[in-house]
Amino acid sequence: AKITILPTAEEASQFVAERLVTLVQAKPACRLGLATGQTPRRVYAKLVAAVQEGKVSFAEVETINLDEYCGLGQSHLDSFAAYMHRELFSGAGFDPSKINLIDGAAADETAEAARYAALVRSRPADLQLLGIGTNGHIGFNEPGSPATSRVRVVELSQETLDANQPTLLELDRVPKHAITMGIADILDAREIVVLATGTAKAEAIRKSLSGQQDEACPASLLGAHGNVHWVLDEGAAKLL
C-alpha cells in the first residue's frame, strides 16, 4: 500500500482534496464514492473552495455514499444525506440527479438495501474516499464483516455508537442500525483513499497496516486491493 504521512490534519486533508480535484479535472464524469464523519469535513470545505476559485467543476460527477443511519430521512439533521448536502453538495455545484444516497427513512430497509446494492454494482467508483473507525470499521462494516459483504442492513457496535454520540445535532441517541456498502463493494473501486487523523485512530491504523488481513479489523481487508493510498497525519501514524 501507498502511505503518505503529513504533519497535520490540515495538510493531510489538503493532500486528499488535491487528489480528488486532479481526478475530476482528468475525468469530469467520474463516479466518486464518498464518506461522512468528522474526518472528511476539511476535505469537503477545500473542494467547495476549489469550485469557488474556478479550479474544478463537479457538475458531471456522479456520487455514491457509503452508509446511512436507519430511520433518518434526508431532512433529518443527523442523517448522512443532510451532512453531505451541508458539507459538500450545496456549495460545490453538484447535479442533484447525479447524487446517489441511501434513503434511511425507507419503510422497507431490506428493499432499500437491495436497490442501493444494484446501483453500487452498476458501475465501479473511480475513487472511494474512506475514513476509519477506532475499531477499524470502514463504512459501517464493523469487526467481523466478511470481505465478501455487500450493501446490507447492519447493527452498529457499542464502540461506534459511543464514538458518534457527541456528533449528533438533533437526536438524543445514535440509531442502532444502518445500511452500509459492504467490503466487497468498497474493494470494487478503482482507487481507494483512506484519510485518518488524530491519535485515536493510531491503533486501528497499526492493525490495518500490519500486513495481516483479518475480519477483526475490517480496514485490514483493504490489503487485498492493489491501489489503496493511506493519507495520515502524525497522530494517526504514531504507532507505525
Catalytically annotated residues: 67, 135, 137, 142
In our burial notation (b when 16+ CB lie closer than 10 A, e otherwise), range 196-221 reads bbbeebbbbbbbbbeeeeebebbbbb
Interacting residue with ligand F6R among 33, 136, 139, 218 (CB under 6 A):
139
Q: Which amino acid is at 55?
A: K
Nearer residue to ligand F6R within complex by CB, 35 or 232: 35
By three-state DSSP, how is residue 120 classified? helix
How many chain residues touch ligand F6R (CB under 6 A)? Answer: 15
Which of 9, 17, 39, 128 binds ligand F6R (CB under 6 A)? It is 39
Q: Site for ligand F6R (CB under 6 A): which residue of 137, 150, 152, 207?
A: 137
**Segment interacting with ligand F6R (CB under 6 A) among 24-32, 34-42, 45-53, 95-103:** 34-42
Say how many CA atoms lie within 13 Å of 130 toward its Cβ: 31
Out of 9, 30, 48, 66, the only residue in the binding site for ligand F6R (CB under 6 A) is 66
- Tell me the residue nearest to ligand F6R as measured from the CB: 131
When asked if residue 182 is in the footprint of ligand F6R (CB under 6 A), the reply is no
Binding of ligand F6R by 142 (CB under 6 A): no
Question: Among 10, 38, 13, 33, which Cα is nearest to 169's?
Answer: 38
Question: Three-state DSSP class for 117?
Answer: helix
> Could you say whether residue 38 binds ligand F6R (CB under 6 A)?
yes
Q: Which is nearer to ligand F6R, 61 or 154 (CB)?
A: 154
Given candidates 133, 182, 218, 235, which one binds ligand F6R under the rule CB under 6 A? 133
Query: CA-CA distances (angstroms) from residue 215 to 32, 48, 65, 72, 219?
Result: 25, 36, 22, 28, 8
For residue 200, CA distances in Å to 1, 75, 139, 230 come to: 21, 31, 17, 16
By CB under 6 A, name the binding residues for ligand F6R.
Answer: 35-39, 66-67, 80, 131-133, 137-140
